[in-house]
Structure 1
Amino acid sequence: MTPNTVAVLGLGAMGLPMASRLAGAFEVTGFDPMPASRSRAEATGLTCATTAADAVNGAGLVLLAVRDAAQVEGVLFGDDGIAPALTRGAVVVMTSTVGMDAVASWTERLGELGVALVDAPMSGGPKRAGEGDLLIVVGAEPAALDTARPVLERLASTLTVVGDKPGDGQAMKTVNQLLCGVHIAAAAEALALADALGLDQQKALSALETGAASSFMLSNRGPRMVQGYDGGAEVLSRLDIFVKDLGIVGKAARSAELAAPVAAAAEQLFLLGQTQGLGTADDSAVIKVVAPQRRTTVDDTASTVDNVEGTTGGTQAAR
């Protein structure tokens, strides 16, 4: 085992650009259970194994880029899990948002094999993953973090250590996802309302971005919400991911005996989107839950805008 060998398990929307980014600095072997995903990865020049066990053989660091806690459990300890193939002294880096529930158990079971777990959920999307521009929050024992740090720093523009044990990263990411989900839902309602009031959505978005109502999610998802009405936005983050993530938020809040009514309301919007067949669409499609179609109020635009300005004081409405 050498510190420069990295196995990336999961070559989907986030895993592949992360693997490609790491391949510029480390010896990387990838694996995905879907042959098509392996083929796409190999087409980029990435070396892929045909089994997860083969991918981790001799790897000093194993990066998991999977969807949820059930997949983490399966990859590590399932019938074809990698646990027996891991090299003593290796580090497993968990990059997904999976919640805190099972992290202590995974840490203990891996520890019995002489393997450390680094809890390092990431945010930023596929493009930023490929550019090394991710936000990564980490919970890990210092020695394990020291081993993982060169890999994490290759992927991150912002690396924040929030605690010294696995689970702390998931806790911080849960807080992060509460805000992200709420901000996307709020952006959807705001742009739907702008349309319902006869405003041009793109002009409304531009105005909102310059004032106190601006947010990262408004600027990032807002254009895709507008595009969604014009044939559909590119899928960069699936809507059903926020069904999962806000479910984690709700469970964590209940466990902490904390009310989170705004997060619960946002979760309902994403759940409705999933039941309406939007689960695999970009999460910006949540605007279609609020307003399935853009309204055609062109003829009434002038009078509507005059009305709004007359009752709110003109430019004050955009602040």
Structure 2
Amino acid sequence: MSLSQTATARVAAVIGLGSMGMGMALSLKKAGFDVLGADVSADAVSRFVAAGGRGIANLAEEIGEADTVISVVVNATQTETVLFGPEGIADSLRPGSVFVSSATMDPAIARKLAARLEEKGVHYLDAPISGGAARAASGELTVMASGTPAAFAAARPALDAMAAKVYELGDSAGFGAAFKMINQLLAGVHIAAACEAITFAAKQGLDLAKVYEVITASAGNSWMFENRIPHVLSGDYTPLSAIEIFVKDLGIIQDMARSERYPVPLSAAALQMYLAASGAGMGRDDDSSLARLYAQLSGATLPEKAN
């Protein structure tokens, strides 16, 4: 499909077609965007093309078509590589287009990337996301965004297609990243606490299904307990959100806190558990695998996946 054939459609590009990026790209397509998709995995690009999207063969050459570029890569290093690496796209982006950065990163790095890109006349929206793959696919993400009014204006149609809630958190990059890190601190600690609690219940010989029923109706409940513990009850640790994500994110929190001379002992303890789970070979498994780690350490017995 040529650009002339899609002249009436806004053109968006999604870089990173993992579980989140794929859903975001498909949500854009459902909203009427002409969507380009890029990923290091040829299989991911093929799946997107099969769903009606356009694959990008040469990112630097083709990215200039896009009004909006959404980067859904893993971290700051990958984001910087996408923009300014040997095959980076920064010089290929059209002036006035907007780069929407959804990777979780240190706010200071987000500010540096924004400054470098804005020097080229391209808007940068610091826009971490929350909600998981299912909400990405249904266009119901939460976006924690900050950037100039012009960046918000340029990104608004795409944001409306991908998100149920868009929080405008500041007029420059960095605020969105900082809000996301507060969310990740809580999420990482809550998952660790939920896994500690359910495995402790197993050690006490309690009926785990009944524990789940009681706790989700009680003051000790959390969104993470309610969302993650069913994985433990079913013995299914297929990754919806992997251990390695919290190794990364809680590590960023430690770096941020150290630079501010701020104590974060609870997230530091949680990080050690994620590191231990990763070291035990569970890094790519679901983050509820912390329960398995607690079981290994304590001799508790958890449910096994049904055949």
Same fold (TM over 0.5): yes
Deviation at 1:54, TM superposition (A): 3.7
Per the alignment, in what secondary structure is the counterpart of residue 270 of structure 1?
helix
Which structure's CA Rg is the greater one? Answer: 1
Partner of 1:258: 262
Partner of 2:230: 223
What letter corresponds to residue 14 of structure 1 in structure 2?
Answer: M
Cα deviation, 1:101-155, whole Å, max 9, x if unaligned, reads 3222211211121001000100111111011121111111111111112211221
Partner of 1:245: 249
Per the alignment, in what secondary structure is the counterpart of residue 11 of structure 1?
coil
Per the alignment, in what secondary structure is the counterpart of residue 101 of structure 1?
helix
Deviation at 1:294, TM superposition (A): 4.5
- Cα distance in structure 2, aligned partners of 1:164 and 1:219: 35
Deviation at 1:295, TM superposition (A): 2.4
Q: Which of the numbers 7, 17, 25 marks the counterpart of 2:13? A: 7
Partner of 2:305: none
Q: Which of the numbers 113, 116, 122 marks the counterpart of 1:115? A: 122
- Cα distance in structure 1, aligned partners of 2:301 and 2:70: 46
Contact 1:184–1:218 (CA under 8 A) maintained in structure 2: yes
- Cα distance in structure 2, aligned partners of 1:55 and 1:137: 28
Partner of 2:199: 192
Which consecutive residues of structure 1, in runs of 5 or more, have no partner in the other structure? 297-319
- Cα distance in structure 2, aligned partners of 1:124 and 1:187: 19
Contact 1:31–1:55 (CA under 8 A) maintained in structure 2: no
Deviation at 1:187, TM superposition (A): 0.2
Deviation at 1:233, TM superposition (A): 2.6
Deviation at 1:89, TM superposition (A): 0.8
Which consecutive residues of structure 2, in runs of 5 or more, have no partner in the other structure? 303-307
What letter corresponds to residue 291 of structure 2 in structure 1?
Answer: I
- Find out whether 1:284 has 2:288 as its counterpart: yes
- Cα distance in structure 1, aligned partners of 2:61 and 2:134: 28
Per the alignment, in what secondary structure is the counterpart of residue 93 of structure 1?
strand
Per the alignment, in what secondary structure is the counterpart of residue 80 of structure 1?
coil
Cα deviation, 1:169-214, whole Å, max 9, x if unaligned, reads 0000010000000000000000001100110112101110001111
Per the alignment, in what secondary structure is the counterpart of residue 70 of structure 2?
strand
Q: CA RMSD in A?
A: 1.5
- Find out whether 1:275 has 2:290 as its counterpart: no
Contact 1:238–1:281 (CA under 8 A) maintained in structure 2: yes
What letter corresponds to residue 22 of structure 1 in structure 2?
Answer: L
Structure-to-structure mapping, 1:154-233, within 5 angstroms: 154-228=161-235, 232-233=236-237
Deviation at 1:13, TM superposition (A): 1.3
Q: Which of the numbers 55, 78, 89 marks the counterpart of 1:82? A: 89
Q: How many residues align?
A: 293
What letter corresponds to residue 236 of structure 1 in structure 2?
Answer: L
Contact 2:95–2:120 (CA under 8 A) maintained in structure 1: yes
- Find out whether 1:234 has 2:238 as its counterpart: yes
Deviation at 1:160, TM superposition (A): 1.0
- Cα distance in structure 1, aligned partners of 2:223 and 2:115: 37
Q: More deviation in 111-120 or 152-161?
A: 152-161
What letter corresponds to residue 279 of structure 2 in structure 1?
Answer: T
Q: More deviation in 116-125 or 25-34?
A: 25-34
What letter corresponds to residue 237 of structure 2 in structure 1?
Answer: A
What letter corresponds to residue 25 of structure 2 in structure 1?
Answer: A
Deviation at 1:64, TM superposition (A): 0.1
- Cα distance in structure 2, aligned partners of 1:45 and 1:259: 49
What letter corresponds to residue 249 of structure 1 in structure 2?
Answer: I
- Find out whether 1:146 has 2:133 as its counterpart: no
